Amino acid sequence: MIASKIKLRYKFESSNITKRYKENYGVKEEYVEEKLHNQNGKRKVIVFKIPLGSHNFTHRDINKRLLMQFFNNNDSITNDIYASEESSVQDNSTSSDNTIYCTFKYCKIGFMYYKQNSSNHNVSKDIANVNEIFYVGFIKTNEFSNLILKILPTHGSKYTFNIVLCPDQKWISSKHSPKYIPNTNNTMKFPASYKNTNNQIYKFLYCHNGNDKKFLSCGRLEQLFMPPIDVGYDCTKLNSKNDNYTNNAGEKEINLAVTFDYKFSCNKKNILDSKYVTYGILTPEDNYKSNSLITTFFDKNFKLYSKQRIIMIHLDELNITNFNNTEDLMGHTFTYEPKCIVPDLETTLHLKINETVQNFEIKTEKNSKEVKNYIIDKREMKNVPVRCHVVPDKIKNPAFDNFYEYHYSTSLLMFDQTTSRYKKVGDLQSLISNAKYKCILNTNYGIPKHGQLNYIKESEFTIILIESTSIDMYLFGALIIVALLSIVGIFILWKFQPNNKKADDSISTSLSSSTSTSPSRSKSSSVISNVHNVPIIQKKAVNIGTKNIAKKVAGKNANLKATSNEDSIFKLK
């Protein structure tokens, strides 16, 4: 058979655009057959390359599938084409309408076998007796470099996002080539109780910010005779009445509800209900750290963030077995707009050192002004980062630990007495003991002036640093004095040891008499004793001082804990 007479007619049929078939004549290539079913020798393969040009893909092709037919001259030979898997002729038969399909469930590309009037149930094993071997693949163009399963429109609402289904590893029928390698990066998570029986891969796609092309990779197609190609979904700008369609259009906006015992619900549904998959959605506009959508899976360790919205999707909605059109289209998607809003909280800026929010104590000065003091022990710390952190005022729950992390940035300022101005500091070594400090919100990211957000309070305080050198040298000196006094005491005891019992009794009687008859001498003894023990007393005083500081901090912790356990007013603003 002459390859130039064999042609492939194909088209990417769209649900909204009628297209004509394109034709592509095959080109013979040499292929080593021992790579195929372990047969020896060489055999020519007729290769068909389908270009991914604008005549196949346009940005208005919302839903589509690939249709293919083979002709010898003008006679259809499609019903005599068999797929490459080792199965019966009936299983390999392409279809009853003389068409070979590439859809989401099953894509018949790669090796195919042409055998006229074959009754062999294992045509792919009888390579030597088939009429021709075909190979179908895709090639890139300047317009499209990826095989696009579905093109999605941009949305008017910044909160709207898409969930796309990616084919599994069995998407390509061929066991030898091409090979489809799924991309499992950034896939959706599901509750532990959910079993994805179809092994489908779910991913998020965010079509916004004027992204005419924002390709999301589902996997990679490794091909023979042509370069590999990525497979996935893309975005486009469209002005269609269907652009703003969402799967949850009937839902209304509602605030996240939180009880005093920290039960979280949206529209009276527990956000950790195992019948739902729950995600927090944070848009790029509400996130100064990244230009991409942030999706947060809600499990028992979930976190809440300012400006976040929550979506709860019933697991049955995402079960592919409930769909009937996956066999007819190349891609399948869901579109949602989260309607459960996480409101703002009343919070205060606190000092944070090395990822730990520090405790503080309140000191009242002579003018009755209360001053917040942070006592920081530097002796066990290296040059760690210091910054400010937003802490909820009346809420003690780990879900709110980093509530404003993405939406507002903060700065730690220290008053410089040389310039009489505040300057930014960011590490422990830059701190000066007893200096004045401020925790503030930065003025960018939509905050016009310091302190204008009534639900985030800035703070002023003093930092008292416990330096290692001064205290350690003091303790060292105290120990030296104690050691010297001990030596002197031992020497004195040794000096008086040879005295006889009479002398001892005399001294004892004298001391006893002295004690009973002379109060002034008794007082003098007490002073001497105190003098001799000065170093010991001072050492104890140092330790007691340190303990007092610890007690004050512990007392502060106890007060905070007591406050958090009370039925305090808990208001989401």
490 phi and psi, to 5 degrees? -60, -40
The span from the CA of 529 to the CA of 223, in Å, is 95
C-alpha span between 405 and 390 (Å, rounded): 8
CA–CA distance, 543 with 332 (Å, rounded to integer):
70
Contact between 335 and 242 under an 8 Å Cβ cutoff? The reply is no
Classify residue 21 by its DSSP letter.
P
Query: Would you say 111 and 84 are in contact if contact means Cβ atoms under 8 Å apart?
Result: yes
pLDDT 10s digit of each residue in the chain, 573 long? 565 688 999 988 776 566 778 888 888 877 755 455 555 557 788 999 999 876 555 555 556 788 999 998 888 898 888 876 544 333 344 445 688 888 888 888 888 888 887 665 566 566 667 888 899 999 998 888 899 898 888 887 889 999 999 998 888 866 667 899 999 998 999 998 887 766 789 999 998 865 555 889 999 999 989 999 999 998 887 655 556 788 898 899 999 999 888 999 999 999 999 999 999 999 988 888 888 899 999 999 999 999 999 999 999 888 877 665 555 778 888 999 999 999 988 999 999 998 889 999 888 777 777 889 999 888 878 889 999 999 998 888 999 999 998 988 899 999 998 899 999 999 998 999 999 999 998 866 544 444 457 788 999 999 999 886 555 555 566 677 777 777 877 777 776 665 544 444 443 333 333 333 333 333 333 232 232 222 322 333 334 344 443 333 334 443 433 333 333 333 444
Residue type, 222: E
165-190 in b/e form (b: 16+ CB < 10 A) is bbbbeebbbbeebbbbebbeeeebeb
- Identify the H or E element spanning 391: strand 386-392
Tokens (6 digits) for 484: 């010297």
Provide the whole-model pTM.
Answer: 0.73
What letter represents residue 428's amino acid? L
Q: By C-alpha distance, which of 124, 34, 43, 131 is closest to 82?
A: 124
81 to 11, 13, 111, 226, 400: CA distances (angstroms)? 18, 21, 10, 22, 61
**Residues whose CB is less than 8 angstroms from the CB of residue 99 and which lie 6 or more positions away in sequence, other chains included:** 67, 68, 69, 78
